[in-house]
Amino acid sequence: MTASRRDLIGGALAAAIAAGAARADDGSKPPVVYKDPTPRADILDTPALKRNILALSFKQPPAGLTVPRVKVEGASGLRDLRFQPGLTLLSLWAPWCAPCLVELRDLAARRRLFEGKRFRMLPVLTGPRGEISLGEARAALAKVGAETMEVTIDRSPGSRVLLETLALRERPGGSGLGGNLPCNLLVDEEGRVLARQFGAPLDLKLEPGQLPTAEMRANARTRWAGAEGEALLGALQRGEVAGAPAPRLVG
C-alpha cells in the first residue's frame, strides 16, 4: 500500500466517524437512528449482564443462522473458516467502514487479557470495495492501532459471502435488506450464530436531550473499552453465559 493510500484511509476514518453528527451540527435534522426491535440474545441473558448496555446490544439471531463454509486467507495461507471449541467473537469488518476500525482498535487492546482456551476474537474482512491484499488489510488495522489483531480475509466469490449471509438486516423505513457493518457474532465451534450485534456502540457521556457533535464522535471510544466491555468479555472468557453447564462441585 502506498503512503498516499494509507493517508487516505486514516483521513477517511476520522471523517466518517464524524459524518453521523454533521447534519445535527449545522442546525438541520439529526440523522435517523435505527432501533432494532429484535429481543436480546438468550445466551447473554444472565443476571450479571442484565443491565450491561453492550450485552443488550447483542440480539437473538434469525433461527438457524450459521456461518457458511467459505475459504479465508490468513497468515498461514488459504484455508476453510473453522472455529475452536468454546465461543468465538466473529467481527465482520471492511477498510471502508470507519466504525469497524474504531471498534477493532478497542477490541485489540482487550485481546491479550481476555482471549483463552474457550474464547477468542476473530476479525474477518468481508465486502471490500475492490481487491485487497493481506498487507493492505494489516496496514488498515495498524493505522488505527489494531495491529495485534489477526488478519483474515473472506475469499469467497467477490469476498462478499459472509457479509451477505450474516450481516443482512432490514433497512430503516422498510426499504429492504442490506449488508451492515460492523457486525459482531458470537459463534460456537459448529459455526452456529448464538448472538448478533450491529454497529459499534460509542461510550458517549451526554446530558438529557444533548446530541453528539462531530468532535465528540471522532474522539469517542466504543463500549468495549469501558467497564461494560470488560464485564462482557470476562463473562465470555469464563463461559458465564446462559445455557452453559454448571461448574462441577468437588467434594
**What residue ranges do the domains of the chain occupy?**
3-237
Domain boundaries 3-237, CATH class: alpha beta
Answer whether 194's CB lies under 8 Å from 65's CB. Answer: no
- The residue-averaged pLDDT of 101-105 equals 94
Q: For the whole model, what pTM was predicted? A: 0.81
Query: CA separation (Å) from 96 to 16, 66, 137?
Result: 9, 25, 11
DSSP 161-185: HHHHHHSEEEPTTS--EEE-SSEEE
Q: Say which DSSP state 192 is in.
A: B
Q: Could you tell me which residue, 88 or 2, shows the higher pLDDT?
A: 88
Inform me whether the pLDDT recorded for 83 exceeds 70: yes
User: Does pLDDT of 138 surpass 60?
Assistant: yes
Rg (CA), the chain: 18
